[in-house]
Amino acid sequence: MSSFSPFIVKLYWGGQVSFVNGVIICDESTLTSSFFVRYDSMSYVELVDTIYNHVQLDRNSYSLKLVLYYTFQGVHASSYLSDEEGVSMLYFLAANEVNYFGQIFVSQVPKVTIQHESFMELMRGFCAPQSNDYEVGASTYTNLENPTLDQHIDDEEDLNSLNSESENGDTEDSEVPPSDDDSGDEVILPQSSEEYNSGIYQGFPTGPVEAYDEVAELRTAELPYFDNEDQMDIWNPESNQIRVGMFFHSKKEVVNAVLSWNVACNREVIVTETRKTCWRAKCYTKAPKYNEPLPNTPPCRWAASACLKKNQHMWQLTKWVAAHNCYGTVQRNNNRCLRSKDVAFHISSAVQADISFPVKQVKVLIKDLLHVDITYSKAWLGRRIAIENIFGSWDSNFNELPMYIKALKASNRGTVVEWLHHPHGSSKCATFKYVFWAFKPSIDAFHLCQPFISVDGTHLKGPYRSKLLIAVSKNANNYILPVAYAIVDEETNESWAWFFMMFREHVVNETMGPLCVISDRHAGIVNAMTSLEGWMEPNAYHRFCLRHVRSNLMKRFKSASLKKLCWAIGSTTQARKYMAAVAQMKIINEDAWLYLNNIPKTHWTLRYDRGHRRWGNLTTNISESLNNALRDARLLPIKACIDYTFQKDVSQYVKHTEIAINCQTALPPRMWSVFNNRDRRAQDHRVFKYDHVEETYRVTSRMETNDYGGNDYTVEFKRKKCTCRKWQMERFPCSHAIAVCRHRNGLPNEIVDSRYYTSTYRQQYSGHYHPLPHKDLWRGAGWCIQGDPSKVTTLRGRRRARRMHNEMDVHYPDEPRHYKCGLCKETGHNRKSCPYRNQ
């Protein structure tokens, strides 16, 4: 060590501070002061006196807690200054760091006079020589109060994940565990006032403990029984206090309190013993695998022990050292003491408010609360544990599922729930395979909708491998209407066939006419639509999602031009535009057109949609949108998932009911807005009458300045047809039909399909949902169900990405790229050449 040089010590008090990357960050209420340490013989008492003078506090009214923040060999850490060893560490840092200055955070604690009204209070008031540690039985006692974090944890993990050196034995139960090897001299507190006055227990170490027969006898003595818990020193998570002799309701609380205290101190521990009746921990610097960076530093004396007191049925902290005297072992600010279950406790309120609380936000929240940087894996697992703590596990959900379904059907009459169980299930307990459900108000609303559905499937996240199938339609206001749901093991021919059979049996009304199904080209859906009775033409019609057709094309032919032309071919309703797009695609890549031409045109183009079965719907966007709205439900177990869909449908149903009741126009608000937009364009059209009997008109659109427009369209008003084909396709008038209607002085309801009327909208939402009773009032269903063990996945391997990439994430060679600056977000330059870089 080099010769001593004076250094500066800066004090912080009165506010909140945090130590981030070697820099102290404080709020506006924090006060600061500095002073020189001009000689290397300043004692701990002199240092405390100097700090009292700077912070201007009365020594008789307040005690001080000092925390030293420092950086040593690139590692940022903190340590309590509570004795001469702390001052020695301060001098050591000053001698080994260049341009060193000390940073100490000072917190004040009011001194409180405690009245000794009970035996526990008498133990707290026991006086001993000037030492930090006293012992109860074979345990160390410290009267220095230390903070602990407010949290509850699940037990029986016993910190095996913190170290591989933890011992898990079924040894004989012992009420007070033997003392640690490094406990040093011991002072045994008396068990009665007679022993206290006998002179044996005067608080001074007079030799090995084994020299006293009375002490050996008192090791097995029990503490007195407390009739009133108010007289016991019981741990309170809100008080952030840990003391020797403190009682805990369970082993969970002991582990939680000790680990939380160490997290707050930025220290790590190792469990040296864990049994049914005792628990011990030491500083991680005593772990066999730990390599001390400073070989000449003294060993850390921090330790904690607790044992089960059978007469109180509680755990008592029998040894507690107030502070660590090491430099710390935390690397990259990721503390081993903070487990995933502890993360789950701290984020439980956030997860309950938002089930899909992002993992990145979990890391940010833990950083703000505990000043600890956790890994992505720990944050991800903590979120999963939090979800299970709030909504239950898959096993518990299966146990409650029959009672929940019975209560749901009893409260909401007409709700459909159908099951399909595995054949290898027993007569006492069925094994889950499929479940289908649909709510009565949604079924009734669907009977007044456009006769089409969009179906899709998405995987559920969690330890049980399953898929969620949905069927969606549109209401009179052109908004999404969820119709039916199902949970199956996989998207197979069998599962989709079962879903369509249940839908046909319990949901479809024959008065709706033939039903159109829009989906992707999944083999299970195609097989069901071509083989199931009731789903083949002319009873039902299958159409493909245009976006999925384009996606399949892009997997084979990667070109941005082909991507645009594919959409133009499938979405146009006019023959001239269709032929122009086809001709252009043949010029670019004829193989691409041959691939598309092999797909039946009636299935993916509006131009050849016979009977206009699509009602103008090109894609499965409504089902994809519902999947996105249900992204939270995908994280939930089965009963919670069904209940989530119920609550989601109720909220949407109430919302649309209010809109329908307050609507004062002939059409619902959204369709009325579409009608008015087309009406404004219709005012620029010119109308010429050609046939009075057949009510045939020629409509010429307005000529635009860019040579577009000026096109002629033929409108057959009596037949509700227009050569643009939008009127007959959507059953909603195009601007050309509205121009003719205006020319005839007609009303909008003359040319709009009744499924778009406000009266239809109100009728769709005239049903009622009813809440379920409290779960304690649910009655037994008379049967039980369990999950399929073969569908339970393990946590091994890398977790799957939240969003799977498709052709929209691919850059094609003929597609121009538009880079944005990372600083100003403008195009034309990058971060290095940004004009705002130096501002």
Which amino acid type is present at position 53?
Answer: N
Q: Is the pLDDT of residue 822 over 70?
A: yes
Radius of gyration of the chain, Cα coordinates, nearest whole angstrom:
38
Tens digits of per-residue pLDDT, 402-417? 999 999 999 999 999 9
Q: How far is CA 165 from the centre of its chain?
A: 33
Band of pLDDT at residue 60, cut at 50, 70 and 90: confident
pLDDT tens, residue by residue, 415-442: 999 999 988 877 778 999 999 999 999 9
194-198, 441-445, 637-641, range with the lowest pLDDT = 194-198
pLDDT exceeds 70 at position 28: yes
203 pLDDT above the threshold of 60: no
Judging by beta carbons within 10 Å of its beta carbon (0-12, 13-18, 19+), is residue 693 exposed, middle or buried? exposed
**β-strand pairing of 7-13 with 101-110:** parallel
One-letter amino acid at 440 equals: K
Bridge partners of 172, per DSSP, are none
Confidence at residue 468, expressed as pLDDT on a 0 to 100 scale: 95
Whether pLDDT at 159 is above 60: no
Question: Quick count: other Cβ atoms within 10 Å of Cβ 776?
Answer: 5
In whole angstroms, what is the distance from residue 400 CA to residue 138 CA? 48
Question: Exposure of 713 by Cβ count < 10 A (0-12 exposed, 13-18 middle, 19+ buried)?
Answer: buried
Evaluate if residue 205 carries a pLDDT over 70. no
Nearest to 667 by CA among 482, 483, 478, 448: 478
> 685 near 702, Cβ under 8 Å?
yes
pLDDT at 231: 64
- pLDDT tens digits for range 643-697: 999 999 999 999 999 999 999 999 999 999 999 999 999 999 999 999 988 899 9
**pLDDT over 70 (residue 296):** yes
**According to the model, what pLDDT value does residue 17 have?**
85
User: Are 83 and 77 in contact, with CB atoms under 8 Å apart?
Assistant: no
Lowest average pLDDT, out of 300-309, 392-401, 688-697, 743-752, goes to 743-752
pLDDT digits (tens, 9 = 90+) for 559-605: 889 999 999 999 998 888 999 999 999 999 999 999 999 999 999 99
Question: How does residue 816 score in pLDDT terms, banded at 50, 70 and 90?
Answer: low
Give residue 4's pLDDT band: very low, low, confident or very high (50, 70, 90): low
> Is the CB of residue 823 less than 8 Å from the CB of residue 837?
yes
Task: Give the C-alpha separation, 799 to 635, whole Å.
Answer: 14
Higher local confidence (pLDDT), 809 or 239: 239
Is the confidence at residue 76, as pLDDT, over 90? no
Q: Give bridge partners of residue 108 from the DSSP assignment.
A: 64
Cβ-count burial 459-497 (b if 16+ within 10 Å, e if not): ebbbbbebbbbbbbbbbbbbbbbbbbbbbbbebeebbbb
Distance of CA 737 to the CA centre of its chain: 50
- Listed residue (681, 669, 831) closest to 761, CA to CA: 669
| Segment 754-779 mean pLDDT | 93
Query: How many distinct helices (H) and strands (E) make up the chain?
Result: 24, 26
Percent of the chain residues past pLDDT 90, beyond the cut = 46
Q: Which residue has better confidence, 712 or 795?
A: 712
Q: What's the rounded Cα separation, in Å, for the pair 237 and 149?
A: 7
Q: Select the more confidently predicted residue: 201 or 122.
A: 122
Task: Give the tokens for residue 186.
Answer: 């011991």
**Residue 267 CB-density burial (10 A; 0-12 exposed, 13-18 middle, 19+ buried):** buried
Q: Is the pLDDT of residue 210 over 50?
A: no
